[in-house]
Amino acid sequence: MSNRRTFIKSSAFLAGSLALSPSILYAKSQVAASDKIRVALIGCNNMGLGILRHHIALPEVECVAICDVDQNILDKRIAEVGTATGKKPQRFTDFRKLLELKDLDAVIIGTPDHWHCLIAVAACQAGKDVYVEKPMANSIGECDLMAQAASKYSRIMQVGQQQRAGQAFIESRDLVKSGYLGKIRKVNIWSNFNYGLGNEFKPATAIPSGVDYDFWLGPAPKREFNPNRFHGSWRHFWDYGGGLMSDWGVHLLDMAIWVEDNPSAPGHVMTYASNVNKENRDRDTFDTMNVLFPKKDFLINYDMNGGLQTGPYGKPYGIAYVGDLGTLVVNRSGYEIYPEWDPTAEANKIEAKKLEGTTESHNLHVANFVECIKTRNEPNCPPEAGRIAALHAHIPNIAARVGAESLVWDDAKRKFIGNKEANELIFPEYRKPWVLPKI
């Protein structure tokens, strides 16, 4: 096992502590300056910080800058990283100034989804590689622009769909692709989480001290400040995110797409969506959805229930690959195969298999990104994979928003067939002075 993997797994930093272990600090001191990978974090409140943790736990990675529009969070993170690493990152409140840094190799984008495209494209244009949280962007069109930018400027872009680095999912994919389950008929997916209901209504408040709220809104419409639309809960509003569908859905749908012979954008999408729990809930997005994606290889069936915490096989979320010979059920903690019974042979058609005790794979996904910065190889989740996964989340959301039970997407033409309202939601309308990037 490489030193990198050893350092990742031994670091207390990955357990949530901001203190790097002495072995990691020593390893960092042994890396020549010419071999260091210098990264910056843009958007440092929650997931952004978590992804940065995994970066700086690698011996060759150094955090040189952090940027946020909330100075309270920004100052806290700069102090924490400085204490953990012995080197305080530079402080920025405008990502454009950060991207002017010459000694910067890559940026981590941990902002709300509506900022992903502007920052990622600007980073590519500035010659920086990009790790961008999922979903890739907050609209179909913006995902396309990001993929174009990564290609045009020859940048490594890793989309944060870290399950592609997870042991349970890799082994599951290999079992499906090998034919072990026989012919795959359908892939059933479910995600049941309480937070999908959104928050209870709260009154508008004054903008918190130290927050540049106008910059936080950026290209999104002007709105009065409300804590429900800010840290932690912004994803329940179309201006900034896509709810439970684009938060968890994009992860799970990606695992269904991953086993296709030739992973492709959805063509025909059938959607049922509703807000079943309407009592005192402040949100735009839906708490209940069922979506069918008829694909060339099999049917994908997605079932989402915000406000519930139980699901099939006793799991709140998961994926079931349903084959003629058996069904494989997987989530981040492992997988299990349930064989079909052969009444003639009076035996299972295949051997039952189980993998238990697997854990999160953010660290491995980050390590893959850093390795690809050095080798220029394609990462685990390149832009096109991120774009296709995002389409599987955005199209059902669009269908629900325009009241269409069925939508047909022409990926070659990048438009919906016969639905003007849906086509109007492919790109967002940016608020001035922000302008949709041109590649």
> What per-residue confidence (pLDDT) applies to 24?
80
3 has a pLDDT exceeding 60: no
Of 120, 112, 99, the C-alpha closest to 70 is 112
What is the radius of gyration, based on Cα positions, of the chain?
22
432 has a pLDDT exceeding 80: yes
> What letter does residue 376 receive in the DSSP assignment?
-
Q: Give yes or no for a contact between 215 and 119, defined as CB atoms under 8 angstroms apart.
A: no
- The chain-wide mean pLDDT, for the chain, equals 94
- Mean pLDDT, range 112-135, rounded to an integer: 98
Instruction: Using DSSP bridges, classify how beta strands 106-109 and 37-42 pair: parallel, antiparallel or unpaired.
Output: parallel
pLDDT of 392-402, one tens digit each?
A: 999 999 999 99
> What per-residue confidence (pLDDT) applies to 163?
97
263 has a pLDDT exceeding 80: yes
Q: What is the dihedral of CA 5, 375, 119, 122, to 10 degrees?
A: 160
317 has a pLDDT exceeding 70: yes
Topology of the domain covering 166-359+386-423 = Dihydrodipicolinate Reductase; domain 2 (3.30.360)
Instruction: Using DSSP bridges, classify how beta strands 341-342 and 347-348 pair: parallel, antiparallel or unpaired.
Output: antiparallel
> What per-residue confidence (pLDDT) applies to 17?
58
> What per-residue confidence (pLDDT) applies to 178?
98
H-helix or E-strand spanning residue 421: helix 420-423
348 has a pLDDT exceeding 70: yes
- Mean pLDDT, range 3-11, rounded to an integer: 39
Distances (CA, A) of 320 to 28, 151, 264, 355, 389: 42, 34, 20, 15, 18
Confidence of residue 232 (pLDDT cuts 50, 70, 90): confident
The predicted model scores a pTM of 0.94
- β strands within 82-183, DSSP E: 90-92, 106-109, 129-132, 157-159
- Mean pLDDT, range 268-277, rounded to an integer: 95
- Mean pLDDT, range 57-86, rounded to an integer: 97
Tokens of 58: 């690698």
> What per-residue confidence (pLDDT) applies to 18?
61
Spatial distance between the Cα atoms of 408 and 156, rounded to a whole number of angstroms: 31
Of 84, 80, 128, 83, the C-alpha closest to 102 is 128
Judged by average pLDDT, the poorest of 12-21, 132-141, 155-164, 210-219 is 12-21
Other C-beta atoms within 10 Å of 127: how many? 13
Tracing tokens 């060759």 back to the chain, one arrives at 60
> What per-residue confidence (pLDDT) applies to 2?
40
Tracing tokens 């979903």 back to the chain, one arrives at 135
Tokens of 38: 């210098």
pLDDT of 14-67, one tens digit each?
A: 445 567 878 887 678 788 888 899 999 999 998 999 999 999 999 999 999 999
Tracing tokens 């509506």 back to the chain, one arrives at 114
DSSP secondary structure letters along 130-155: EEEPSSS-SSHHHHHHHHHHHHHTT-
Judged by average pLDDT, the poorest of 8-12, 18-22, 23-27, 356-360 is 8-12
Spatial distance between the Cα atoms of 213 and 205, rounded to a whole number of angstroms: 12
- Mean pLDDT, range 67-71, rounded to an integer: 98
Confidence of residue 252 (pLDDT cuts 50, 70, 90): very high
pLDDT of 169-224, one tens digit each?
A: 999 999 999 999 999 999 999 999 999 999 999 999 999 999 999 999 999 999 99
> What per-residue confidence (pLDDT) applies to 16?
52
CATH number, domain 3-164+368-382, options 3.40.1190.20, 3.30.1380.10, 2.10.70.10, 3.40.50.720: 3.40.50.720
Domain extents for the chain? 3-164+368-382, 166-359+386-423
